[in-house]
Amino acid sequence: MSKGHGYQTLKPLTTVGDVFEVAIDFERTARDFYRDLAPKVSKSIRYLVDELAEEEQAHFDLFTEMSQRTDLGDVMAAEIERPASDRKFSDCVHLPDLGEAPDDQSVLQYALMREHAAMEQYRALALETPAGPLKDLFQYLANEETKHKNELEAVYYETVHSGGV
């Protein structure tokens, strides 16, 4: 193979800044989705949807604050390998229409899928990002999303298997 056409040049690279743009959009759309969804869901899970909206807002704020730090310019410009989870994560920006009266199971299934996609993405990014505050951020968010997913799984199990849907 001639130089420039090998596997190494075809590896999907991106910058940390580009990752941040997608993550900000991911968190913003999730926040808006849950806020709009809250009045439509049953009272038994409304608290959970409100909590999800608050958590997504907090993540949005973290990414926004970090992206505006001038001392992180070099890290934001650093190229990293695009995680295998990137496509699934990016696809989560496209939201489903759960209707005007979504059932609890559908809401929980969607929330579980989003939390899982975020957990995988942030975990992969923590492995790819150079040591420092951004790596710490991705690790923190991976841990947060894992906790959220575990909590949602417990609520899902309780709701589905107790005849709640």
As a whole-number percent, the residues of the chain with pLDDT over 70 amount to 90
Helix (H) or strand (E) run with residue 15 in it: strand 13-15
**CATH number of the domain where residue 143 is located:** 1.20.1260.10
Inside any domain, residue 165: no
Structural domain range at position 35: 12-160
- Which amino acid is residue 96, in one-letter code? P
C-alpha 99, offset from chain centre = 23
**Is this structure's pTM higher than 0.85?**
no
Among 90, 73, 105, 66, smallest CA distance to 12 is for 90
Inside any domain, residue 129: yes
SS3 3: coil
Inside any domain, residue 105: yes
Q: What is the pLDDT of residues 91-115, one digit of tens each?
A: 777 777 888 888 888 889 989 999 9
Q: Are 27 and 63 in contact (CB under 8 A)?
A: yes
138's CB contacts (< 8 A; 6+ apart) are 122, 123, 125, 126, 129
Q: Which two tokens stand for residue 111?
A: 């929330």
Inside any domain, residue 22: yes
At residue 163 the predicted structure's pLDDT band, cuts being 50, 70 and 90, is low
Inside any domain, residue 5: no
Number of folded domains in the chain? 1
Q: Which two tokens stand for residue 18?
A: 């580009």
- Which amino acid is residue 26, in one-letter code? F
